[in-house]
Amino acid sequence: MAVTLDMSLVPAPASDAALVSRPALERRPQIPALTGLRFFAAFFILFAHACDWIAQFQNSEINRSFAFIAMYGMPLFFVLSGFVIHYNYRSLFLGASAARATCEFAAARFARLYPLYFCFFLFALGADSFVRTAAAVPHLGTPVIAYYLTLTQSWWYLIYQSRSIIYQLFSVSWSISTEMYFYLLYAVLVFFIIYLSRRARAIVLGTIYALVVTASLWWLRYHLNGVLATAQHFLPDYIPLDNFEHSFFRWLFYFSPYIRVLEFFMGCFAAQAYAERLNMQVSVREHRLGSLALLAALLFLIVVGLLYQAVFNLPIINAYVQFYALNFLCAPAIAVIMFCVCRYDTAFARFMSLPWLVALGEMSYSIYLVHTWTLRLFEQPPQPLTAFWAFDGAFRVACGIALTLLVSYGTYRLIELPGRVWVRASLRRLIRRVFDRDAAHERPSANAASHSKKLVYVGPLIAVLAVFAIGGQAARYDYVRAQARRLVLGDRPEIEVVSATYGGNCMNFPVPAPYPNLAAAGNATDPVRDVCNGRLSCDFKVESETLHDPANGCGKDFAVQYRCRGETGVHSALIAAEALGHHATLSCQRDTP
């Protein structure tokens, strides 16, 4: 699940002013309560995963009664990110040239995200089975690693070996990829947000925004069958809801930045509302109303949690709550909570500002990335739910959480913080060399006078992002890739896999329990296409890492039907049982005279 990033609202050091073209970047006061909230965002995910992964039982899913708390963690991270980004960087974009502001912003966010991410990315390569799988599938390793290194793995619906790219390597990093898109879009839309806020109060705009988003998501849910049918028609790798984890539905509404960014901008509106009142005195009446709003938002989160768990038997409402919980359900209430803890002195805000919570909040990024490794140490085979095994499960959950916090402290101090400081300093020096050469010739008021002109570029930049998103998805189409290859390599008789089946002779085999019989025609088509399509010849090795075992205990054959581009006939390659470990050779090479 997810992570956000530089949430600590620490005032910019005095030296920062020199790094921003005049007028200087506005100093912002520290808000410890938001850093405390940041810890709870990480803790909700940590606790949910600990319960889900560690406390498993053979005859009960009681752990799911606790794992649902993750529904609060992801929106809390994303709304917090929007709040802090807009609160800290709004003045940068107003006070500097667009080019310099964008570079300063990109450098700060890259330094915050990438050092720790890259360390754990390398760790994932060494600890998981991806390298072994990629060695068996030649066309898998390079694109997956490229997406992960560029942090774009969640930007498109990408399927490899019938599995979402999210689960290919370092699954929790999807949220970092999604967050990167937020930053890209924020740099484009920040002036539009400021423009709107000058024409209406941000609280009003935020309320309208929340209602419009809620209505839009309701429309998508109401017309869900049509949305999924359209996706199935256009996406060659479409996976239906039956395989939920890898489905297009889950990617669109949970992983993709195009839906999750709605939470981010909810946080931006909350930050804008707070900034508008930053120098206004809080009256007794406003404090009372703010306290009531905070209480109402907290109660709302509790009620939707109960509805999500179907504690109240309201089938239609429960279904919509479970749908909204994939993304925007908690975002408006969380935005209200953030505004209130920043604006009003309440017991809740004081609790969130406790020094130990703030210290844990500073470690939240490390907690999020570390927990996927530390929790797995405490996983055990499921046992029957008894008092003894329930205590054992609770004890292992507690140990997993404790170890995660300890290791996170180490990674924060030894990797995250030093890496951030070093990368940020290096990028600052580069930015200074590029932009300060002509600083003496800049007019102090030039940037302020150009705010309205910057709005002109919002539309074209949004269009560029849309083309980038559509083009990136279109690049996954076999037709598009084939045409690109033809432009580069010319018209040649490339392999086009029609169908591949592993274990077709075992469809009626009585597989021993508890294994299902998954032998079916075409069950190996996607893996073989990934390896062989577009090549003149292909040597495909039948391996369990690639094809798994569709019929346990049965000696399985392997059959492939394929065409050569430009020819009408279908060629076949067959390996009799047992095919495991053997090679199927596909060839479209023409004999030369």
Q: Which residue has the tokens 């964008």?
A: 102
**The domain containing residue 193 runs over which residues?**
14-474
Residue 353 falls within a domain, yes or no? yes
Structure tokens belonging to residue 331:
């975002």
Three-state SS for 32-72 is HHHHHHHHHHHHHHHHHHHHHHHCCECCECCCHHHHCCHHH
Residue-level pLDDT at 448: 46
Instruction: Verify that 308 and 357 share a domain, yes or no.
Output: yes
Instruction: Verify that 451 and 575 share a domain, yes or no.
Output: no
Neighbour-count burial for 360-371, b at 16+ CB within 10 Å, e otherwise: bbbbbbbbbbbb
Instruction: Verify that 446 and 541 share a domain, yes or no.
Output: no
Residue 9 falls within a domain, yes or no? no
Supply φ then ψ for residue 583, to 5 degrees.
Answer: -115, 135
The residues, ordered by sequence, that sit 6+ positions from 4 with a Cβ below 8 Å of its Cβ are 38, 41, 77, 78, 80, 81, 84, 175, 179, 365
Instruction: Verify that 203 and 280 share a domain, yes or no.
Output: yes
Question: Which among 497, 522, 544, 537 is positioned nearest to 133, based on CA atoms?
Answer: 544
DSSP H helices, 344-457, are 347-352, 355-362, 364-374, 387-411, 417-435, 446-449, 451-454
Instruction: Verify that 438 and 524 share a domain, yes or no.
Output: no
Instruction: Verify that 541 and 449 share a domain, yes or no.
Output: no
Structure tokens belonging to residue 336:
């209200």
Instruction: Verify that 532 and 435 share a domain, yes or no.
Output: no
**Residue 526's CATH number:** 2.60.120
Structure tokens belonging to residue 61:
């899913």
Domain count, the chain: 2
Q: Which residues of the chain have pLDDT under 70?
A: 1-27, 138, 438-453, 478-479, 481-483, 485-486, 591-593
Per-residue pLDDT tens over the stretch 202-259 = 899 999 999 999 999 999 999 999 999 999 988 888 999 999 999 999 999 999 999 9
| Residue that finishes a domain, picked among 443, 474, 505 | 474
Residue-level pLDDT at 479: 63
Residue 292 falls within a domain, yes or no? yes
| Residue that finishes a domain, picked among 407, 442, 474 | 474
Instruction: Verify that 393 and 431 share a domain, yes or no.
Output: yes
Q: Is the peptide bond before 13 cis (omega within 30 degrees of 0)?
A: no
Residue 592 falls within a domain, yes or no? no
Residue 482 falls within a domain, yes or no? no
Residue-level pLDDT at 457: 74
71 close to 397: Cβ distance less than 8 angstroms: no
Instruction: Verify that 268 and 332 share a domain, yes or no.
Output: yes
Residue 276 falls within a domain, yes or no? yes
DSSP H helices, 455-505, are 458-474, 478-489
CA–CA separation, 509 vs 517, rounded Å? 8
Instruction: Verify that 466 and 531 share a domain, yes or no.
Output: no
Question: Which among 39, 272, 18, 255 is positioned nearest to 159, based on CA atoms?
Answer: 255
Question: Which among 353, 327, 402 is positioned nearest to 73, based on CA atoms?
Answer: 327
3-state secondary structure of 575: strand
Given its phi and psi angles, is residue 490 left (phi above 0), alpha (psi -120 to 50 degrees) or beta?
left
Per-residue pLDDT tens over the stretch 287-323 = 999 999 999 999 999 999 999 998 888 999 999 999 9
CA–CA separation, 281 vs 356, rounded Å? 29
Residue 42 falls within a domain, yes or no? yes
Residue 6 falls within a domain, yes or no? no
Instruction: Verify that 264 and 368 share a domain, yes or no.
Output: yes
| Residue that finishes a domain, picked among 474, 506, 531 | 474
3-state secondary structure of 543: coil
Instruction: Verify that 344 and 254 share a domain, yes or no.
Output: yes
